[in-house]
Structure 1
């Protein structure tokens, strides 16, 4: 998970991370891949929930709050508020867009305003983490 704070996790990468997490659980429980056990059954045996992607999202949200409160060049780059032309073709996905969908419905301006209030931001992150989205 080194450097996960800067990853942009697409749906494809999220599926790969979840598959890797399940592989870890199967290895720790000594369950061979040929055994016909569903992922839910493996998680029940381990008394665990899938948490790798949620943990990465939580770390990304905490680093985002530090960057937004600082208000320097990193803030401008993260919010995408710099001058110039956009490149042609499909635009790349941004961390801000993924975090906005993870934290729940709301305008980006509401999320950026919540970053300034540490208690509100902490509550938002905790609720999103507990919901498991």
Structure 2
């Protein structure tokens, strides 16, 4: 990927051409022509070592408000245009939102929970053990990659509602019993998923802020894409979500870089921000 027009403008004079993990490769480009050239180049280089790019498993997605089909081909075969696809277990969308991914995670976690109905209905298994199984099997499915979510109030409520349904089934109570959510958390020794998400996002942010400036993860936090955004309220981004967490404690993103160097203090800050978000 050596051509100067490959990829998208990144930091300084650098360009971001591809994101790789094992045999999963995501190419980025500013135009259809450039993307085709990059794909052809990747296909040629792969062929030199006996590898072949699967057209059926390859997808092309245009990010942004103006959507047109991208005519991309691999070995003469057209590549499918999509509005969303699963990459490394997370659902990526053309709009860049995380609502679709969160809904998918809740659906998968609900499926796991239903398959374990014999456990929840058993009178021979203690409530404590059932709660531990929920926390170790079901909840990790729901919160996979939650550190990267830019979660809205609506999705926070949706996640907490899913958790409440699970906990109330374990406790064999319904909403008709007029038992508050706080009481449910108290009886099971748990806390809202939205609180856990905020704390995990803050902890992940600490790792990112401690990185050197040449790391892609850190660059993406401070990166400002070229171009103009639409009029109106700015969309929620991961950085804005982080800034909101920090502002609840009177801290700016710039100040957070130095604070993150002290891991113990940062963990304490993460817990405080999570509690503030709950109130």
Fold conserved (TM > 0.5)? yes
Q: What secondary structure does 2:260 align onto?
A: helix
State the partner residue of 1:100.
243
User: Which runs of 5 or more residues in structure 1 are unaligned?
Assistant: none
- Number of aligned pairs? 131
Write the distance in 2 (CA, Å) between the matches of 1:42 and 1:120.
30
Tell whether 2:261 aligns with 1:112: no
State the partner residue of 1:76.
219
Tell whether 2:166 aligns with 1:19: no
CA contact 1:54–1:129 (8 Å) conserved in 2: yes
Write the distance in 2 (CA, Å) between the matches of 1:14 and 1:126.
17
The 1:93/1:117 distance shift into structure 2, 3 A limit, reads same
Tell whether 2:205 aligns with 1:60: no
State the partner residue of 2:88.
none
CA contact 2:167–2:188 (8 Å) conserved in 1: no
User: Which runs of 5 or more residues in structure 2 are unaligned?
Assistant: 1-142
CA contact 2:198–2:277 (8 Å) conserved in 1: no
Write the distance in 2 (CA, Å) between the matches of 1:74 and 1:124.
21
The 1:17/1:94 distance shift into structure 2, 3 A limit, reads same
The 1:82/1:132 distance shift into structure 2, 3 A limit, reads closer
State the partner residue of 1:91.
234
Write the distance in 1 (CA, Å) between the matches of 2:263 and 2:227.
34
Write the distance in 1 (CA, Å) between the matches of 2:268 and 2:189.
23
Tell whether 2:152 aligns with 1:7: no
Answer 1 or 2: higher relative contact order, Cα 8 Å, separation at least 6. 1
Q: Greater CA deviation, 96-105 or 66-75?
A: 96-105
Write the distance in 2 (CA, Å) between the matches of 1:93 and 1:86.
16
Structure number, greater radius of gyration: 2
CA RMSD of aligned residues (A): 2.5
Tell whether 2:184 aligns with 1:39: no
TM-score by length of 1: 0.78
Q: What secondary structure does 1:15 align onto?
A: helix
The 1:47/1:107 distance shift into structure 2, 3 A limit, reads same
Q: What secondary structure does 2:210 align onto?
A: helix
CA contact 2:206–2:260 (8 Å) conserved in 1: yes
The 1:86/1:69 distance shift into structure 2, 3 A limit, reads farther
Q: What secondary structure does 2:172 align onto?
A: coil
